A and B are shown apart, each in its own frame.
Chain A
Amino acid sequence: DSGVTQTPKHLITATGQRVTLRCSPRSGDLSVYWYQQSLDQGLQFLIHYYNGEERAKGNILERFSAQQFPDLHSELNLSSLELGDSALYFCASSVLAHTDTQYFGPGTRLTVL
């Protein structure tokens, strides 16, 4: 158990809908990262937050957004969902950034029908 929690574990929804994925980092970790894992794209970095501020953006679509709250938990919002958004979404956390090890949560499996 990495200490990173993600909810829900599974999410099934329809095209065009909006969902919110939640992540609680390890106690004491200030950085939260979001990743998407799909069969065709592999593991893709989406976005990084540090202590409430956005630090880096990767391959994140405009339909997706995230935020990190004062209690350091983070939410990833996915809107206007398409079939191709079906994937595993992982959250990871680290103490600070850069050289720190990232610890991954168990993931949320999103299925868009």
Chain B
Amino acid sequence: GQQVMQIPQYQHVQEGEDFTTYCNSSTTLSNIQWYKQRPGGHPVFLIQLVKSGEVKKQKRLTFQFGEAKKNSSLHITATQTTDVGTYFCAGLTNAGKSTFGDGTTLTVKP
């Protein structure tokens, strides 16, 4: 079945450093979504990417969708303590099945 892998599992950074998480799918995706889950909270939608090679920015966050539509990345510039949480990607196949990765947990040291 479809598998979505995320690396790294954990990332510890000093406040102000950059952070990147990578998402890789075993199958071609029709789109990919990113969610953020704060400790003790629920996943909150960040963005959806649909087109091959698409790049979207939200303030300090940059999202990319690979040319083959099998991988994606989320990059945060100059992390802040408010960026703490677990970032999940969720890939949707053409069959309509959505699969979440196991997330990258980001901790930020002030």
Partners in one complex: no
Binding site for B on A (CB under 8 A): none
**Partner-A contacts on B (CB < 8 A):** none
